[in-house]
Chain A
Amino acid sequence: MSDQEKDPVTSSSLSKPLFIWSALLVLSMIWGLYDEVYGIRPWKGYQAKFEKLYSAYLKDLRTPEAQHEAQIKASPQYQQLDTAMRAEEARATPLAKVNTDKVNSLVPKIQALNDPFQEVRSHIGSLTYEIEITSPDRKDSLRKQIVELKAETRKVRIPGESEERVMNFDQMDQTLKGWKDEKAKALEDNVQILAKATSLRKQRDQYLSDRISAASTTTLDSVATSLNSFDIRIRQIHIKDIDLVDRCESCHLGTREPVVLTAAAMGGNEVFASHPNKELLQIHDPESFGCTPCHGGNGAALSSVEQAHGYNKYWLWPLSHKENIEAGCQQCHVKEIVTEMAPSLNEGREVFRLRGCTGCHRYEGFDREADEISSVNQQIHQDDQQKAEWAREIGFTETKANDPRISNDDARKLLAHANDLRVRSSGIDAQVEQLDRRSANLVREVKKVGPSLKEARMKLRKEWIPEWLKDPHKWREGTKMPTFRLADDDRKAIAAFIWQSGLKGQLDQQKPGDPVKGQEDFETRGCMACHSMGEGSQKQGGTFAANLSREGEKANYDYIVRWVHNPRQRTAPYCAFEKRDLTAQDYQNHGLPYVYDLDHDKCPNDGHVLQVQQMTPMPNLRLTEDEARDIASYLMTRKHDNATYEDASYMDDPKLVDKGREKVRFYGCAGCHEIAGLEDEQRIGTELTKEGSKPIERLDFALLGHKAEDEGWMTHKGFFEHKLENPAVFDEGKEKAPQDKLKMPNFNFSKPEIDEVTTLLEGSVDASVPPRYFYTPTPQQQDIVDGWWVVRKYNCMGCHKVHVGQTSIIDGLRRSQDPDWVEQKPPTLIGEGARVNPEWLMQFLNNPSLSETDTNRDGVRQYLHIRMPTFSFSEGEIRKLVRFFAALSSQAEPFIPEKIEAVSDQERTMARQLFTSEGAPCLKCHMDGDPAHDARATAPNFTVAKDRLQPGWVKRWILDPALMSPGTAMPSGLFRKDGDRWVFAGPTPASFNGYTKDQADLLVRYMFSFTPDELARLRAGAGK
């Protein structure tokens, strides 16, 4: 073998490896190109698919829409409008043409003359300017030049004229003005001539658009046309001030389409569906809000669904899941208890508040009263300091002023300054007075989630307490009280402590009531707006307060009578300053009777405001004692007959008290209950205001970390959901001493409740969005925000409709479905602010009986079985409610009543005759003061109208009540339009002949002059 043959350069071929490598290179290039074009750009596929599906859908949509449109266009009404419009157009067009022709001939003439005219004018203008700035001796010569220029004639060719015109400046000016006026007049005339045709065309088009609910064929066509030029490109929103880039719409192409796209319409592809709430999108325009600030996710990522949605590891703000979609609302609407269009978040807040989460966990904004107490006290302290400072300054200033060495002028200035400070100081007194009142208010406003355990000994059956503590949910399904994981001896010690720390007050011994009547009262007076009754499928009523199906097993009858009669009655007043319940002796020491109520709420020892009421939101229904006995007797019949309770004599063992107290402290019971000696206990749980943005590593998944990671719930959502479902879950597998175990009790939340609370917590973040994203309410909107807290606190929505789309608990009761019971439902409060005079509303909220003596009634609707109770609102709460309703109805603050024209004697006679005529049904339904009639009445007495209502609302109401309150007993169609005025639709008395004013106005004015005497006269007129 020669050397040459041995040489690998000549003997071996590299073509094979080269081929393989080049093939690999080509393949990797293809792969690279593919990946570049599609692999990392899945959105391209989405876009192509979207275009195809959308075009197909538009085609499908167009056919029925076009048919529907054709059907409407063929209808006689449309045809009539169309014919009328066409006839008018045919009449007007030739007339208009004369003018149009005139304008068309004038325009070139004006243009032709305008040029030479402007040339001279600008020349004159420049000469005039020169006169203004030149030396006086040159002015005259320049003026002369102008005169010459004006006199100079020019030849102008006007279109349509054979001869050139010779004109000087003034002639040109006059001619031009004349032509311009002529043109303007011709155009104006045309507007007049075509006015009717234009209005008829508008009417015809309106008729069509009123009858097409979906997109019109015109819209469909224009969308289809724009789809023809659909290009595949990244679609992004760039918000410069926060450097946000959201490319979500590169795949979610239907989000803002004018045609509403559902997943079904797009072949089941949810990704292409339109945003489900267009109104929400209008308020939060994506062009200025983007997508991810509300929804989470990684807006810039396009390489995969997982990345774009932020579900990859370490992305801090993943897209909110569907069930928690409203979490995003919370970050900017953090101060609200009710946010419009966020029902699930609102429910989450409500569960959080109502189930007592705030008893253990602080959440900024939820602890409104306590926070306000501290801010009010701080303000009072600051004011006192400021006053003292000014007093000192007044002293110094006056001393200085009295110094004989300073001038009179300076002395006067100093004395004036001292006086100014005095005046400002008196202003502080006024402010402190308000703050003191607010402070006293706040004592009244603070409520507890659970009942006072100070009353346990008087209210409860002893043996029931330890049984209840075992598992409250087993004893009463759905109760607010959670289940604590208590060892038996701890449970017994707690029961013993509660029993022995309870007050030993005197209760009147009550005679038995009538349980049958009691049941009727319970079901009709309004108890069920908050309480439910019955178990399982039989359960009906509200969830705001306890289910009372087993009340008879646990309660002491005498106590329940007292409670039903006045739930706010306390066994002893509590002095927060002395930190104890006062006794009769405290009052006796000061020679005072042992009387404590809202009118006697000062501590006899030190003058501090006392807690004189039970800290329950439960109001007083102003029932008679007999009624209270009946209801209590009924409740005592509600029990399981076979229930047994263990002997609980150990509860009297004093040795258990200390251990019991310690456990009660340990579990934070005082967060929800008033407990003797533990009134000032602090919360035991962690603050949750920013829990959603707590770093994930600080959420203790304990031994479940790996499992959570494997199963994909190593997220805030996963943590919250697992914790809410089973609060002990993160103790699993841990070796812990009992006192180290997780304390959070089990609330037995349902799946929707877990989702709702998770939504709230997920949204409880340190929002990274700029301040402009946050909801900054106007003063009127702030009134609404504040009012909702009060409305929710007292469960106004259990009885009333407060906002559109809501149903009350009363609406849903079986009895309310009976057509005969419909009028027994409480009034709707939608539009209340426009309906009532706010001053009246203040009085009514303060005392709904509107009487100091006859309180066993409703002040407005005495025929109702259900009763607006007395909530003992504080001044602050009344103010918030009144402003809330005013703001919801866009009423101006402060209120100034509308002036109404007094009725003349003749008008009064007419109105009287109408009121009592057979044709007018007013007094058939409205109360008239005759007890027999009023028992059957279904509407308020007219005598309260003047103080209670607003005239504008009354007129709107009587014209079409169903517009404001669909289903109301008040019929529509009482008036009909006659030209510009409303006239009574039925037969009117002869005295109305020749009356040309608005008859609805007349009745309103008459109503606002109504007195009890007038009513008596009407009754007499009707033969009563």
Chain B
Amino acid sequence: MKKIWITAGVACALTLTGCGGGGTPAPKADAGATPAASSGAATPDMENGATITGKVSFDGKAPVMKTLDMSAVPACTAAHKTPAKSEEVVVDDKGDVKNAFVWIKSGLPADKTWQVPTSAVQITQEGCMYTPHVLALMAGQNLDIKNGDPTNHNIHPMPANNPEFNQSQPPGAGDIDHSFARQEVMVPVKCNIHPWMRAYIGVVNHPFFAVTGDDGTYSIKGLPPGTYTIEMWQEKYGTQDQQITVGAKDSKTQDFTIKG
């Protein structure tokens, strides 16, 4: 009898303990968020990584940009010798498209985190325009906002996945520092006081992005070997995707053409 009890007791104990086998999943960071800690973060391998260069060109007749009506604010008009034009589409005589944003949209290992540069990216309000008109930075990287005008501006980024903010910046005020925690392409920026002012910020989780210069060219360096989707974004004409495979130390060209 005693044995039965012992057996029963052991069986009961086993039943109880046996039930507790469920594993507890480790807390997992949200895929889009940049972890606060930068330990273990990678940097682009400039020596062995691949380089993608290219040019964004305009095919057809580039649209004529409208003149910005700054007449409501004399301080803004005075800053320009000739009336300023919209920077929605900036194409030179050769068809080179400035201010296009190119980035590796997908293909990088999801679990890899990249070192966030300690240097800040600058955006300046000058002549009641944003300089640069299109800029890019890494999630978590500092954005340094300057007001170089003798008039009051308000910087108002309107992201969808990051917190929105709208900060007054009077003339002579100190710089405003800000950073976006999550990847978002693109974050529109406006100034409510001067409604013609517009900028776009590309916020990316990794360092493989670029904005085309005056000559329409861009380059992305230190990319690990792999197959990627590379995307070009232009304010008016939207996005274009391409697949590209690169090996170690490869140099590849990926051009984009915008049809007018």
Q: What residues of chain A have their CB less than 8 Å away from a CB belonging to chain B?
A: 26, 30, 33-34, 37-38, 45, 48-49, 52-53, 56-57, 60, 64, 71, 264-269, 819-820, 822-823, 918-921, 924-925, 933, 936, 938, 961-962, 966-974, 985-987, 1023
- Chain A nearest CB from B204 CB (Å) reads 20
From residue B187, how far is it (CB to closest CB) to chain A in Å? 10
Other A-B pairs beyond A71-B37, A973-B167, 13, CB < 8 Å: A30-B8, A53-B22, A264-B25, A265-B25, A266-B24, A918-B171, A919-B151, A919-B171, A962-B164, A966-B164, A971-B154, A971-B192, A985-B170
A33 / chain B contacts, CB cutoff of 8 Å: 8
- Complex interface: chain A residues within 8 A of B20 (CB): 48-49, 52-53, 56, 267
Tell me, yes or no, whether B238 is within 8 Å of chain A by CB.
Answer: no
Return 28 A-B CB contacts under 8 Å, by A number. Answer: A45-B16, A48-B17, A49-B19, A60-B24, A265-B25, A267-B22, A267-B23, A268-B22, A820-B195, A919-B152, A919-B170, A919-B171, A920-B152, A924-B73, A924-B152, A924-B194, A938-B192, A969-B156, A970-B192, A971-B168, A971-B193, A972-B165, A972-B166, A972-B167, A972-B168, A985-B170, A986-B168, A986-B170
Fill in one digit per residue for B164-196: 1 if any A CB lies within 8 Å of its CB, else 0.
111111111100000000000000101011110
- Min CB distance A222 to B, Å, is 20
Contacts of B170 in A (CB 8 A): 919, 985-987
CA distance A920 to B15 in the complex (A): 74
| Interface assignment of B65: CB less than 8 Å from any CB of chain A | no
Contact pick for A819, options B150, B188, B194, CB 8 Å: B188
**Distance between Cα atoms of A987 and B171 in the complex (Å):** 7
Which of these, B24, B26, B74, B151, contacts A267 with CB under 8 Å?
Answer: B24
Once A819-B190, A924-B73, A969-B156 are accepted as A-B contacts, the answer to whether A56 and B24 lie under 8 Å apart by CB is yes
In the complex, chain B residues whose CB is within 8 Å of the CB of A60: 24, 26
- Contact present for B168 and A921 (CB under 8 Å): yes
Given A925-B193, A938-B192: A971 touches B8 (CB 8 Å cut-off): no
**Contact (A973, B15) CB under 8 Å given A265-B24, A986-B173:** no
In the assembled complex, B75 has its CB within 8 A of some CB on chain A: yes
A969 and B191 alpha carbons, distance in the complex (Å): 9
- Given known contacts A933-B72, A966-B164, A986-B170, is B156 in contact with A269 (CB within 8 Å)? no
Q: Which residues of A contact B150 (CB under 8 A)?
A: 918
- Give, as a whole number of angstroms, the nearest-CB distance from A939 to chain B: 9
Ranked nearest first, the 5 interchain pairs of A and B with the lowest CB-CB distance are: A267-B22, A986-B170, A971-B154, A52-B20, A971-B168
Q: Give the CA-CA distance A475 to B44 in the complex, in Å.
A: 59
Task: Report Cα–Cα, A34/B152, bound state, in Å.
Answer: 81
List chain A residues, Cβ under 8 A from B72. Answer: 924, 933, 936
Q: Specify which chain B residues have a CB less than 8 angstroms from the CB of A71 in the assembled complex.
A: 37
Q: Which of B36-85 contact A (CB under 8 A)?
A: 37, 72-75
**Minimum CB–CB distance for B156 against chain A, Å:** 7
Is the beta-carbon distance between A987 and B172 smaller than 8 angstroms?
A: yes
Q: How far is the CB of B143 from chain A (nearest CB, A)?
A: 16
Are B192 and A918 closer than 8 Å at their CB atoms?
A: no
CB pair B19–A921 under 8 Å, yes or no, is no
Q: How far is the CA of A823 from the CA of B195 in the complex (A)?
A: 11
Residue of A whose beta carbon sits closest to that of B187: A819
B10 within 8 A of A: no
Closest to A67 in B: B37
Q: Look across to chain A and name the residue whose beta carbon is closest to the beta carbon of B12.
A: A38
Bound CA span A269–B22, Å: 9
- Given the known inter-chain contacts A26-B1, A924-B193, A974-B168, please indicate yes or no for A918 contacting B151, CB distance below 8 A: yes
Q: Does B260 contact A (CB under 8 A)?
A: no
Given the contacts A924-B73, A936-B195, A985-B173, A971 and B167 also touching, CB distance less than 8 Å: yes
CA distance A266 to B24 in the complex (A): 7
Residues in A whose Cβ lies below 8 Å from that of B16: 45, 48-49
User: Which B residues touch A968, using CB under 8 A?
Assistant: 166
Is B158's CB within 8 Å of the partner chain A? yes
Distance, CA A52 to CA B171, complexed state (A): 62
Residues in A with CB closer than 8 Å to B109 are none
Bound-state CA distance A30–B3 (Å) is: 12
In terms of DSSP, what is the predominant structure of the interface of chain B? loop
* B19–A48 CB distance below 8 A: yes
> Measured between alpha carbons, how far is A265 from B26 in the docked complex, in Å?
9
Determine the chain A residues whose CB is within 8 A of the CB of B164 once the complex forms. 962, 966-967
Chain B residues within 8 Å of A37, by CB: 12
**What string of 1s and 0s marks CB contacts (under 8 Å) between B189-209 and chain A?**
010111100100000000000
Task: Let me know if A45 and B152 touch, CB within 8 A.
Answer: no
How close is B36's CB to chain A, nearest CB, in angstroms? 8
Contact at A969–B22, with CB atoms within 8 Å?
Answer: no
Contact of A30 among B4, B17, B156, B169 (CB under 8 A): B4
Contacts of B158 in A (CB 8 A): 819, 822, 967
- How many whole Å from A897's CB to the nearest CB in chain B? 29
Residues of A within 8 A of B168 (CB): 921, 971-974, 985-986
Distance A266 CA – B25 CA, assembled complex (angstroms):
9
A962 CA to B158 CA, complexed, in Å = 13
Task: Decide yes or no: A52 and B17 within 8 Å by CB, A918-B150, A987-B171, A987-B172 being known contacts.
Answer: yes
Choice from A30, A962, A986 contacting B165 with Cβ under 8 Å: A962
B166 and A969 form a contact (CB under 8 A): yes
Q: State which of A53, A925, A986 has its C-beta within 8 Å of the C-beta of B171.
A: A986
B236: shortest Cβ distance to chain A, in Å? 13
- Please indicate which of the listed interface residues B154, B158, B172 has the most CB atoms of chain A within 10 Å of its own CB: B154
- In the bound complex, residues from chain A placing their C-beta under 8 Å from that of B22 are 53, 266-269
Please report the C-alpha to C-alpha distance between residue A536 and residue B156 in the assembled complex, in whole angstroms. 35
When chains A and B are docked, how far (Å) is the Cα of A56 from the Cα of B163? 35
CA distance A979 to B147 in the complex (A): 26
Nearest A-chain residue to B150, judged by Cβ: A918
Q: Which residues of B contact A264 (CB under 8 A)?
A: 25
For A920, the chain B residues whose CB sits under 8 A away are 152
Closest Cβ of chain A to B37, distance in Å, is 8
A986 contacts B152, C-beta separation under 8 Å: yes
Q: How far is the CB of B99 from chain A (nearest CB, A)?
A: 16
How many Å from the CB of A961 to the closest CB on chain B? 8
- Note all chain B residues with C-beta closer than 8 A to A1023: 74
State in angstroms the CA–CA spacing of A967 and B159 once bound together.
10
Indicate whether A64 sits within 8 Å of B192 (C-beta atoms), given known contacts A973-B169, A986-B168. no
Chain A residue nearest to B18 (CB atoms) is: A49
Q: Please indicate the chain B residues that have their CB under 8 angstroms from the CB of A918 in the complex.
A: 75, 150-152, 171
A782→B16 CA distance, assembly (Å): 52
B75/A971 in contact, CB under 8 A: no
Q: Which of B12, B17, B73, B166 contacts A971 (CB 8 A)?
A: B166
Instruction: Give B111 Cβ to nearest chain A Cβ, in Å.
Output: 17
In the complex, how many angstroms separate the beta carbon of B101 from the nearest chain A beta carbon? 16
Q: Is the CB of A925 within 8 A of B192?
A: yes
Q: Which chain B residue lies CB-closest to A48?
A: B16
Residue of B nearest to A932 (CB): B72
Q: Which residue of chain A is the closest to B195 with respect to CB atoms? A: A936
Nearest CB of chain B from residue A989's CB, rounded to whole Å: 13
A921 touches B12 (CB 8 A): no
Closest to A974 in B: B168
Name the distance in Å between B213's Cβ and chain A's nearest Cβ: 25
How far in angstroms is the closest Cβ of chain A from B229?
24
For the complex, give the distance between the alpha carbons of A925 and B72 in Å.
Answer: 11
A45 contacts B15, C-beta separation under 8 Å: yes
Assembly CA distance A57 to B165 (angstroms) = 38
A971–B154 alpha-carbon span in the complex (Å):
6
Min CB distance B25 to A, Å, is 6
Contacting residue for A823 out of B25, B171, B172, B192, CB 8 A: B192
Q: List, in ascending order, chain A residues with CB within 8 A of B163's CB.
A: 966
Minimum C-beta distance from A232 to chain B (A):
10
CB distance from B152 to the nearest CB of A (A): 4
- Residues of A contacting B192 with CB < 8 Å? 823, 925, 938, 969-971
In the bound complex, CA of A967 to CA of B156 (Å): 8
Complex CA gap A288/B201 in Å reads 54
Q: Which of the listed residues B12, B165, B171, B192 has the most CB atoms from chain A within 10 Å of its own CB?
A: B192
A34 to chain B, nearest CB (A): 7
Q: How far is the CA of A264 from the CA of B16 in the complex (A)?
A: 20
